[in-house]
């Protein structure tokens, strides 16, 4: 496994328990705080996206590690994955802040673009490197 993909695999694996804890915390927030239905839905979506996207990242990192892409390109792919996950799931959490819906939507959209770029880079690595 290459240096960048090994490092980011460790980061993803260490991050998974935080998402798992987030599921536990989610139950407490839902019970104890007065959230609107929209806020509850966004909290759930942010949590769910974080977990699923971390698993996607683990798969993509394994695939990237088997390519012959140069380290610089691997670093770019790893950062695209990580920042895409943070933006995509984080945008949903921004919906918890009143009057931040437009910003939240933009952050989520940027995350989707970053993840798409990471996925296409991974596909390129499989096909050509």
pLDDT of 24-38, one tens digit each? 777 776 676 677 888
pLDDT-derived band at 111 (thresholds 50, 70, 90) equals very high
Give percent of the chain with pLDDT exceeding 70.
95
Number of domains comprising the chain: 1
Average pLDDT over residues 98-112: 94
Question: Is the distance from CB of 12 to CB of 19 less than 8 angstroms?
Answer: no
Question: Is the distance from CB of 113 to CB of 97 less than 8 angstroms?
Answer: no
Quote the pTM value.
Answer: 0.90
pLDDT in tens, 86-97: 999 999 999 888
Range of the domain at 82: 3-128
pLDDT-derived band at 63 (thresholds 50, 70, 90) equals very high
pLDDT on residue 76: 97
DSSP secondary structure letters along 18-83? HHHHHHHHHHHHHHHS---HHHHHHHHHHHHHHHHHHHHHHHHHHHHHTS---HHHHHHHHHHHHH
pLDDT on residue 80: 98
pLDDT on residue 67: 95
Encode 71-94: b = buried (16+ Cβ within 10 Å), e = exposed.
eebbbbbbebbbbbbbbbbbbbbb
Separation of alpha carbons 93 and 88, rounded Å: 9
What single DSSP character describes residue 2?
Answer: -
**How crowded is residue 1: how many other Cβ atoms within 10 Å of its Cβ?**
12
pLDDT on residue 1: 67
């Amino acid at each position: 496994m290459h240096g960048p993909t090994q490092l980011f695999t460790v980061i993803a694996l260490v991050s998974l328990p935080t998402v798992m804890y987030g599921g536990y915390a989610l139950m407490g927030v839902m019970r104890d705080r007065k959230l609107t239905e929209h806020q509850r839905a966004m909290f759930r979506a942010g949590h769910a996206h974080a977990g699923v996207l971390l698993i996607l990242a683990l798969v993509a990192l394994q695939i990237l590690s088997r390519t012959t892409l140069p380290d610089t390109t691997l670093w770019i792919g790893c950062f695209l994955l990580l920042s895409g996950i943070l933006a995509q799931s984080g945008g949903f959490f921004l919906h918890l802040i009143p009057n931040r819906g437009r910003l939240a939507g933009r952050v989520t959209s940027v995350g989707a673009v970053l993840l798409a770029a990471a996925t296409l880079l991974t596909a390129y690595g499989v096909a050509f490197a």
